[in-house]
Amino acid sequence: MNPKQRKKLKKIIKTHKKSMPSSYIQQLTKYAELFDGIPAVKYLINNVIESDRLLKNGLLPQPLPQLLLPDDIQDTIFKKISDQYPAGDKAGDDLWNRFNEALPKLDKLLRSYRDYLETTYGMWSYTSAPFVKDLADYINQKPVLEVMAGNGYISKGLKNLNSNQTIYTTDSQAWTKENETGKHPVTEIESLDAIEALNKYGQYVSFVVMSWAPDKQTTDWQLLQLIREKYPQITLITIGEKNGATNSKEFWSNAKFIDEEQAERVNRNLKTFDLIDERVYFVK
């Protein structure tokens, strides 16, 4: 993929869609049947369907593979059809046409899974169960404040692992009129913006978790400055794409990264599945 194509696709992914077809999973299920004999494609579809199933049941999903069709997928399909049908066979030609018609539609669906998560669950960062377990190991049961929590997936995951851990989960809930963020909380969320939350709970916590801070605001930078000024004991755990889809330029320019080896261990299960390269950073 050339840089121009990559930039265009990242812009599409980064732009939040207000609605996704309610039949998203049904469409994928239909393509799972069509591509049943193409393991590389069926694997991608099944991963998305299982991820959605877990979320629908109130569970954190597993990490996803990169949801991009293989570059040689048409060659793979052509070989499979050629092995089944002689050249010029109408049934083989019809099947080839069905696959070719479906491929761009399926490709678009797979690339849109993050949009589906945002519009269906209000989940921006892809919060998998193994990732939360690694994050919990780093936090080591110390008290946590989560700001900009959205629907609270990270806090809920941490609480599931240790019900006695002190976790303050907060969000300004300013986005509820625009998307699903905050409309389907999975844990109790206190209505506080990030600065209010830090002023209320900063003296009681060792970590602040901030996931997918908006890139058009500087609240993240204000928060970091306040931590440095009043709560130097706090490590800010930031989840997002550095100099990309999340957080302000001021934040990334001034953040001082610590515990980078531990961050790499936590990031092993925060694998990108699209063109958004989200990572966890420990910041002072």
- pLDDT tens for 213-224 read 999 999 999 999
197 with 244, same domain?
yes
Residues 107 and 136 occupy one common structural domain: no
Task: Indicate the range of 99-108, 243-252, 256-265, 267-276 predicted with least confidence.
Answer: 267-276
Segment 163-183 mean pLDDT:
75
**Side chain identity at 60, as an amino acid letter?**
L
pLDDT value of residue 153 = 96
Same domain, 101 and 164: no
34 and 157 share a domain? no
In a domain, 69, yes or no: yes
Indicate if 272 and 206 belong to the same structural domain: yes
Residue 1 reports pLDDT greater than 70: no
pLDDT interval class at 188 (50, 70, 90) = very high
Q: In this prediction, what percent of the chain has a pLDDT beyond 90? A: 82
- pLDDT score recorded for residue 19: 45
Same domain, 106 and 178: no
Most confident of the following: 120-124, 168-172, 183-187:
168-172
Mean pLDDT, residues 168-183: 69
Are 74 and 213 contained in the same domain? no
**255 vs 119: which has the higher pLDDT:** 255
Cα separation, 14 vs 275, in Å, equals 9
**What CATH number is attached to the domain comprising 256?**
3.40.50
Together in a domain, 140 and 267:
yes
In the predicted structure, residue 64 carries a pLDDT above the cut 50: yes
User: What confidence tens digit (pLDDT) does each residue in 191-209 have?
Assistant: 999 999 999 999 999 999 9
Q: How far apart are CA 211 and CA 267, in angstroms?
A: 14
Say if 8 falls within a structural domain.
no
Asked if residue 4 has pLDDT above 50, the reply is no
Mean pLDDT of the chain: 90
At 107, the pLDDT band (50, 70, 90 cuts) reads: very high
Give the number of domains in the chain: 2
Tell me whether residue 160 is in a domain: yes
Helix (H, G, I), strand (E, B) or coil at 174: coil
Report yes or no on 145 lying in a domain: yes
Quick one: pLDDT at residue 5? 42
Query: Which pLDDT belongs to residue 22?
Result: 58
Given this model, what pLDDT does residue 178 score?
A: 53
Closest CA to 13 of 272, 281, 268, 279: 272
Spatial distance between the Cα atoms of 201 and 146, rounded to a whole number of angstroms: 10
The whole-angstrom separation of Cα 4 and Cα 194 is 36
* 56's tokens: 């629908």
Buried b (16+ CB within 10 A) or exposed e, 48-74: beebbeebeeeebbebbeebbbeeebe
Q: Residue 178 and residue 107: Cα distance in Å, rounded? A: 27
**Domain encompassing residue 154:** 129-283
Boundary (domain end) residue, out of 111, 140, 174: 111
Q: What is the mean pLDDT of residues 181-195?
A: 86
Do 269 and 160 reside in the same domain of the chain? yes
